[in-house]
């Protein structure tokens, strides 16, 4: 099989100074991409973590530079994209990985904490995508990989801000993929599981989960493929962990029809509405509307 190369391509990875982001950045650089590492983290001594890691990768011969702007601020998020375009003249791949995590139940979460998580995960992703897509549409090429989570796809207790932000990313990515299917642009979402500094507290709270195979490097191969010019999926969500890659999808079942629909009819036929033995996967909301009676 031909190795997937990135010579001449430019990639941006946010949240790239450690964990998943650093693993993705290294994987892309090793395959020939010019990479911009974005991260706001500061190491002991006051040095930029992104600058330290970029310098380390450059010392290994890779074309990697750093940007310390915060994607949680609109102007800064847009400047991340502009920095890559100014330096290399284009942007081919954007890997949105930046995030923060605040735990809590809905009855306990403050408005400030909720906004803090949404600003970075959701709005930061919106701002970087919007800026990148303006360039990608002009060049009729682009690949975007957004990082969501199984917590967003399936929910989780005591993780409301994070789960809400990650669920919103699924809708953002899917709609953006439909908005740009008229170009050679692919926008997909990953739901990774990896033992990273940000996830450490979660795994410590769940000692029954085996972290031995959850190295970030086991996630990056999927990011490499989704960032490559040969990538065909668009608008998809893929779970990835410990060597397993699997599609996550939203589907609908035939359900039941009652005319007129009454509360009693719902009670009597709810088991039919909930039956998942047969289902279809709508390409967009229009497909779901076509399942309605008389359509």
Extract long-range pairs of 182-185: CB within 8 Å, 24+ residues apart. 183/136, 183/137, 183/140, 183/141, 183/142, 184/140, 184/141, 184/142, 185/133, 185/136, 185/137, 185/141, 185/142, 185/143, 185/144, 185/234
Element (H, E) at 188: strand 185-192
- Please report the sign of the dihedral spanned by the C-alpha atoms of residue 69, residue 71, residue 76, residue 82: positive
Q: Where are the alpha helices (DSSP H) in the chain?
A: 19-30, 49-59, 74-88, 111-118, 124-139, 150-154, 160-179, 200-205, 220-227, 263-273, 285-289
Kindly state the DSSP code that residue 218 receives in the 8-state scheme.
G
Instruction: Round to whole Å and give the CA distance between 168 and 96.
Output: 14
Q: Does residue 162 carry a catalytic annotation?
A: yes
Strand order across the beta sheet in which 34-38 lies: 64-67, 34-38, 10-14, 93-96, 142-147, 185-192, 237-241, 244-248
Q: Is residue 31 within 8 Å of residue 220, measured between CB atoms?
A: no
Catalytic residue among 62, 141, 162, 195: 162
The helix/strand/coil state of 165 is helix
Rounded to whole angstroms, the maximal C-alpha distance in the chain is 71
Give the rounded distance of the alpha carbon of 24 from its chain centre: 12
Place of tokens 């699997």: 246
- Give the tokens for residue 256: 């039941």
Give the catalytic positions in this structure.
162
């Amino acid at each position: 099989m031909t190795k997937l190369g990135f010579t001449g391509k430019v990639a941006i990875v946010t949240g790239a100074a450690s964990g998943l982001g650093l693993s993705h950045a290294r994987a892309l650089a090793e395959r020939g991409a010019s990479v911009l590492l974005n991260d706001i983290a500061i190491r002991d001594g006051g040095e930029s973590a992104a600058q330290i890691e970029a310098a380390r990768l450059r010392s290994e011969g890779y074309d990697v530079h750093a940007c310390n702007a915060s994607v949680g601020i609109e102007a800064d998020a847009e400047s991340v994209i502009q920095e890559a375009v100014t330096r290399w003249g284009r942007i081919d791949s954007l890997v949105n990985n930046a995030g923060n995590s605040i735990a809590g139940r809905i009855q306990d979460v403050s408005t400030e904490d909720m906004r803090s998580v949404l600003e970075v995960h959701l709005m930061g992703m919106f701002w970087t995508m919007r800026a990148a897509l303006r360039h990608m549409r002009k060049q009729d090429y682009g690949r975007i990989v957004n990082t969501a989570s199984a917590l967003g796809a399936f929910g989780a207790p005591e993780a409301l801000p994070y789960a809400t932000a990650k669920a919103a990313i699924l809708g953002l990515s899917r709609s953006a993929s439909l908005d740009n299917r008229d170009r050679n642009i692919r926008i997909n979402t990953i739901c990774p599981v990896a033992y990273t500094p940000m996830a450490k507290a979660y795994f410590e709270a769940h000692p029954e989960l085996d972290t031995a195979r959850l190295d970030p490097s086991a996630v990056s191969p999927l990011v490499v493929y989704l960032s490559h010019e040969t990538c065909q999926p668009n608008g998809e969500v893929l779970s990835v962990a410990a060597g397993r890659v699997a599609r996550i999808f939203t589907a609908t079942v035939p359900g039941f029809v009652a005319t007129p629909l009454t509360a009693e009819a719902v009670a009597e036929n709810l088991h039919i509405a909930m039956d998942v033995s047969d289902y279809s996967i709508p390409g967009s909301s229009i497909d779901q509307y076509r399942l309605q009676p008389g359509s």
